[in-house]
Amino acid sequence: MYETLGLSRAVYEYGEAVLARLTSRFADIDAAAEYNQAKVLAAFQKNRVDAACFAATTGYGYNDVGREKLEQVYADVFHTEAALVRPQITCGTHALTVALSANLLPGDELLSPVGAPYDTLQEVIGIRPSPCSLAEYGVTYRQVDLLSDGTFDYDAIRSAIGSRTKLITIQRSKGYATRPSYSVEEIGKLIAFCKGVKPDVLVMVDNCYGEFVELAEPSDVGADMVVGSLIKNPGGGLAPIGGYICGTKVCVDRCAYRLSAPGLGQEVGANLGLMPALFQGFFLAPTVTAGALKGAVFAANIYESLGYPCVPDAAEDRHDIIQAVSLGSREAMVAFCKGIQQAAPVDSYVTPEPWAMPGYDDDVIMAAGAFVQGSSIELSADGPIRSPYAVYFQGGLTWYHAKTGILMSLQKMVEAGLVSESQLQVP
Ligand SMILES: *Cc1c(COP(=O)(O)O)cnc(C)c1O
**Across 65-80, average pLDDT:** 98
Q: What pLDDT is stored for residue 362 in this prediction?
A: 87
Identity of the residue numbered 340: I
Q: What pLDDT is stored for residue 220 in this prediction?
A: 98
Q: What pLDDT is stored for residue 177 in this prediction?
A: 78
CB 207 near ligand 1, within 6 Å: no
Q: Which residue's alpha carbon is at the smallest distance from atom 5 of ligand 1?
A: 92
Of the pLDDT bands very low, low, confident and very high (cuts 50, 70, 90), residue 7 is very high
Strands (E), 102-236: 109-112, 140-143, 165-171, 202-206, 225-229
Report whether 239 contacts 230 (CB < 8 A): yes
Of the pLDDT bands very low, low, confident and very high (cuts 50, 70, 90), residue 427 is low
Q: Which residue's alpha carbon is at the smallest distance from atom 8 of ligand 1?
A: 92
Q: Is the dihedral of CA 295, 299, 300, 301 positive or negative?
A: positive
Smallest Cα–Cα separation from 390: which of 322, 341, 342?
A: 322
The answer on pLDDT for 150 being more than 90 is no
Report whether 379 contacts 306 (CB < 8 A): no
CB 184 near ligand 1, within 6 Å: no
The model's pTM: 0.95
Identity of the residue numbered 270: A
Report whether 362 contacts 24 (CB < 8 A): no
Spatial distance between the Cα atoms of 75 and 71, rounded to a whole number of angstroms? 6
Considering just the CA atoms, what is the radius of gyration of the chain in Å? 21
Of the pLDDT bands very low, low, confident and very high (cuts 50, 70, 90), residue 415 is very high
How many Å lie between the centroid of ligand 1 and the Cα of residue 93?
Answer: 6
Question: In percent, how much of the chain has pLDDT > 90?
Answer: 94
CB 235 near ligand 1, within 6 Å: no
pLDDT tens string 177-222:
778 899 999 999 999 999 999 999 999 999 999 999 999 999 999 9
Q: How far is CA 250 from CA 83, 246, 409, 425, in A?
A: 11, 11, 46, 59
Spatial distance between the Cα atoms of 241 and 52, rounded to a whole number of angstroms? 21
CB 101 near ligand 1, within 6 Å: no
Tell me which of 90, 93, 100, 245 to substitute to probe ligand 1's pocket, judged by most ligand atoms within 8 Å of the beta carbon: 93
Report whether 38 contacts 215 (CB < 8 A): no
CB 366 near ligand 1, within 6 Å: no
Residue 111's contacts (CB-CB under 8 Å, 6 or more residues apart) are: 141, 142, 143, 144, 157, 160, 161, 165, 167, 168, 169
Spatial distance between the Cα atoms of 299 and 381, rounded to a whole number of angstroms? 11
Nearest 5 degrees, angle CA 10-CA 12-CA 16? 115
Q: Which residues pair with 383 in a beta bridge?
A: 365
Smallest Cα–Cα separation from 222: which of 155, 168, 258, 181?
A: 168
How many Å lie between the centroid of ligand 1 and the Cα of residue 232?
Answer: 9
How many Å lie between the centroid of ligand 1 and the Cα of residue 382?
Answer: 12
Smallest Cα–Cα separation from 378: which of 176, 170, 231?
A: 231
